[in-house]
Amino acid sequence: MEYKIIKSWRKTISMEIKHGELIVRAPYYTGRREIESFVTKHRRWIERHMTDARAAEEKRQSFPKFTEKEIRALTEDAKRVIPPRVEYYAGLIGVKYGRITIRHQKTRWGSCSAKGNLNFNCLLMLAPPEVLDSVVVHELCHRKQMNHSKRFYGEVLRVFPEYRKWHKWLKVNGPELLARLG
């Protein structure tokens, strides 16, 4: 069975299937034999999830792709809708931010740079408004914590108590939207 190994300062071995590829994450000190044993032990899990991943990919390929005109319209809507939401939540959180950019990325809903510049995906215009707000709050909270620590999520939940509900909506429904970018 083929897989990609990514070593880091983590403490345990884990696996994920991303874009039909098995990725094994392991601590730096983990030997090849230990990794192979781990993969062998979890063969059934891998096979089941690889089958699911292939089916999901086939489903994604069947979605109609957005036209350039549709993407431009979504981008224009986002440029009109997102900045006021950012301004509103920045006031609640008590942070400043830099430039706001609207993109049509295939893998991200938003990001925050170290300089405080914010990026948002135009496809957020197709999600419920609460999803957009949850992404805006998430990125603005990075102005206080540039990580995903308990303190970070404590701040997110303080400002947007339903964050987990709408984050879950995005996890479940977002891949279908992203797949339409082509």
139 contact partners, CB below 8 Å, separation of at least 6: 110, 111, 112, 118, 120
Do residue 76 and residue 149 come from a single domain? yes
Listed in sequence order, the DSSP H helices in 63-145 are 68-93, 129-141
Query: From CA 20, how far away is CA 173, in angstroms rounded?
Result: 19
Do residue 96 and residue 145 come from a single domain? yes
Output the domain CATH number for residue 130. 3.30.2010.10
Do residue 49 and residue 121 come from a single domain? no
Do residue 26 and residue 113 come from a single domain? no
Sign, CA torsion 46/51/55/60 = positive
Please give the tally of structural domains in the chain: 2
Do residue 36 and residue 79 come from a single domain? no
pLDDT tens string, the chain, 182 residues long: the values are 899 999 999 999 999 998 789 999 999 999 999 999 999 999 999 999 998 888 877 776 767 889 999 999 999 999 999 999 999 999 999 999 999 999 999 889 999 999 999 999 999 999 999 999 999 999 999 999 999 999 999 999 999 999 999 999 999 999 889 988 87
Do residue 40 and residue 84 come from a single domain? no
Which residue(s) pair with 22 in the sheet? Answer: 17
b/e burial code for range 67-78 (CB count within 10 A of at least 16 → b): eeeebeebbeeb
Do residue 157 and residue 92 come from a single domain? yes
Domain span at residue 99 reads 68-179
Predicted structure pTM score:
0.73
Q: What is the 3-state secondary structure (H, E, C) of 15-81?
A: EEEECCEEEEEEECCCCHHHHHHHHHHCHHHHHHHHHHHHHHHHHHHHCCCCCHHHHHHHHHHHHHH
Do residue 164 and residue 83 come from a single domain? yes
| Cβ contact 78:125 at 8 Å | yes
Reading the block at residue 121, the tokens are 């995906």
